[in-house]
Amino acid sequence: MQDFLHKLPQFLGNHAALAALFAILLAGLIVTQLGILFGKVKELTPGGLTLLINRHSPLLIDLSAIADFEKMHVPGARHVLMSQFDPEQKDLAKAKELPVVVIDKDGRGNSAKAAQRLVKSGFKQVYTLGGGVLSWQAAQLPVAKGR
């Protein structure tokens, strides 16, 4: 270990660009993880969503394309087009104190944007399903079909 510590300054001097890139990547990783840890929107795994459903009966909002929603969705999810998604809508505004889970097909679509809009509108418990409906299906959990 002491040999490593003695050679480290020489290595860093010889590979300054590599060391700087490592420091930038490490700082980015730390900032990203802190954002996830202290953010107001929490990402759930399929198992975490199952626990939330069993314990708290959350409102499930699926923002997938209608064709994808009809092929498969989490049972109990309500389909909403992103173009019609409005956190201030009368029916949705009644659920401000309930847990709300925003879902899309693969977890990379509109769910994060919609979740942030819910937080800005005063919703207290906002979640997204990491990996979307595809991760739910991959975990071999039941899916519903049709509307």
140: tokens are 């071999």
> For the packed helices 16-38 and 2-14, what is the interaxial angle rounded to 10 degrees?
110
Regarding pTM above 0.85, the answer is: no
* Opening angle at CA 119, ends 42 and 41, nearest 5: 10
- β-bridge pairing 41-44 and 59-62: unpaired
Edge-to-edge, what's the strand order for the sheet holding 41-44? 41-44, 125-129, 99-103, 59-62, 78-79
Which of these, 83, 90, 66, 86, lies nearest to 145 by C-alpha position?
A: 66
Is 35 a residue whose pLDDT tops 70? no
Beta bridge partners of 41: 126
What digits encode the pLDDT tens for the residues 59-96? Answer: 999 999 999 999 999 999 999 888 888 888 777 777 88
Q: What percent of the chain has pLDDT over 90?
A: 46
